[in-house]
């Protein structure tokens, strides 16, 4: 068991699930004939995916074959809400929303989204809702250890290819933002009340923090940041046109082939709201990983995903100049804090670390938050 005072590489490996893969495969084999017509029962195998990326929904590799039938063998990825006892990151998971927004983005844009295959929204089959999507080929900038720490395909690539990947990623975000917001109005079904989409997202964040604090304790830093966000709420941006946003808009949620996006993943934070949320998240996620690389005295990619470069590319693609991003960086930083609170609580639950003496020990990007809050003070 480790503590969090001196993080090491092992601190970024997090157990996600306590499910039994064999039991899951058996249940899937019984369910598949209800959604895929066949002359023979399927043979199904399931295995947990790599922990290199992703700390929220369960991601399981599934293979299916139909001996005695002409159906081709299938290779899918199953996305499932985590079981309550496994300390889920979010209070609520709407797999049906993820499924539908992926379907719509794939249908209405050229953004490379995995083809969704089937949805089971009730939880009656596996205990939690899930959906199947086609398996995609490609490589992902690693989260564990972060790609900024070096020794991986992105960090070792020439600067020109890194920039090509950056620009192509901004193009993905611009493509998502081209989806008419009204087509994804269902994304607001579980959002709290508010006079604008951004206000609803802010209220949702505060509620999510309270949910996380119930298990592991409150953070004075988060409380201070919430006050700052309220005092500096960008009413002008909030009143601007809303777009469909990806939510977890970062390069670690994209599979690439030859530095070109091949599959855009992880849609559980998709929302309707200001475009600044995605643009800022893309940049801020890289800032966080730069902080982690600095903490571990490993690597660093300071030339990648700089705000001025991302802004310029987004403006050239959309004709839109996004507003000031400081508020949205702080907004993103709090969401990262809550994720770290939930994954920290999960690690304590699975016996991977001791409970922290101070909640802020979990925030690997704490210096970054404090700098953001002190700017111009």
Catalytic residues: 248
| Residue 352 structure tokens | 């991977």
In order of 114, 214, 218, the CA distances from 210 in angstroms are: 34, 6, 8
Q: Which residues pair with 185 in a beta bridge?
A: none
CA distance 109 to 172: 10
Within 10 angstroms of residue 351's Cβ, the number of other Cβ atoms is 9
Q: Which residues pair with 65 in a beta bridge?
A: 43
| Residue 263 structure tokens | 């599959």
φ, ψ of residue 75 to 5 degrees: the values are -125, 115
φ, ψ of residue 58 to 5 degrees: the values are -75, 135
Long-range contacts of 42-51 (CB under 8 A, 24+ apart): 42/66, 43/67, 46/21, 46/22, 46/78, 47/21, 48/16, 48/17, 48/21, 49/77, 51/13, 51/14, 51/16, 51/144
CA distance 122 to 140: 31
C-alpha 12: how far from its chain's center? 16
In order of 39, 263, 269, 293, 330, the CA distances from 253 in angstroms are: 37, 9, 12, 19, 21
CA distance 248 to 332: 10
Q: Is 81 helix (H, G, I), strand (E, B) or coil?
A: coil
Q: Is 264 helix (H, G, I), strand (E, B) or coil?
A: strand
List, in order, residues 6 or more apart from 271 with CB less than 8 Å away: 187, 191, 197, 201, 244, 245, 247, 277
C-alpha 287: how far from its chain's center? 16
């Amino acid at each position: 068991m480790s503590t969090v005072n001196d993080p090491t590489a092992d601190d970024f490996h997090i157990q996600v699930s306590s499910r039994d893969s064999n039991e899951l495969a058996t249940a899937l084999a019984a369910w598949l004939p209800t959604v895929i017509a066949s002359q023979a029962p399927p043979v199904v195998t399931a295995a947990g995916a790599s922990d290199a990326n992703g700390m929220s929904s369960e991601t399981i590799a599934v293979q299916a074959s139909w001996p005695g039938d002409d159906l081709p063998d299938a290779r899918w990825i199953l996305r499932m809400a985590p079981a309550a006892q496994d300390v889920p990151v979010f209070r609520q998971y709407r797999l049906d929303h993820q499924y539908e927004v992926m379907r719509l983005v794939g249908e209405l844009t050229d953004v490379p989204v995995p083809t969704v295959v089937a949805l089971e929204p009730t939880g009656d089959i596996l205990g939690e809702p899930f959906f199947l999507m086609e398996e995609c080929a490609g490589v992902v900038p690693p989260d564990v250890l972060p790609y900024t720490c070096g020794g991986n395909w992105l960090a070792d690539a020439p600067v020109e290819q890194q920039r090509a990947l950056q620009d192509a990623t901004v193009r993905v975000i611009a493509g998502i933002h081209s989806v008419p917001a009204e087509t994804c109005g269902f994304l607001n079904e579980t959002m709290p009340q508010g006079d604008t989409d951004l206000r609803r997202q802010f209220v949702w964040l505060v509620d999510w923090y309270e949910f996380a604090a119930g298990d592991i304790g409150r953070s004075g830093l988060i409380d201070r940041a919430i006050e700052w966000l309220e005092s500096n709420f960008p009413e002008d941006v909030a009143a601007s046109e809303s777009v469909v946003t990806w939510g977890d808009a970062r390069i670690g949620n994209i599979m690439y082939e030859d530095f070109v996006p091949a599959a855009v993943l992880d849609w559980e934070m998709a929302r309707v709201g200001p475009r600044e949320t995605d643009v800022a998240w893309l940049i801020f996620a890289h800032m966080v990983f730069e902080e982690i690389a600095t903490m571990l005295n490993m690597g660093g990619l300071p030339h990648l995903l700089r705000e001025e470069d991302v802004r310029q590319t987004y403006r050239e693609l959309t004709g839109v100049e996004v507003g000031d991003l400081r508020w949205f960086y702080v907004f993103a930083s709090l969401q990262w804090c809550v994720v770290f609170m939930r994954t920290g609580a999960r690690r304590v639950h699975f016996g991977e670390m001791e409970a922290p003496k101070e909640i802020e020990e979990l925030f690997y990007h704490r210096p970054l938050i404090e700098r953001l809050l002190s700017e111009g003070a």
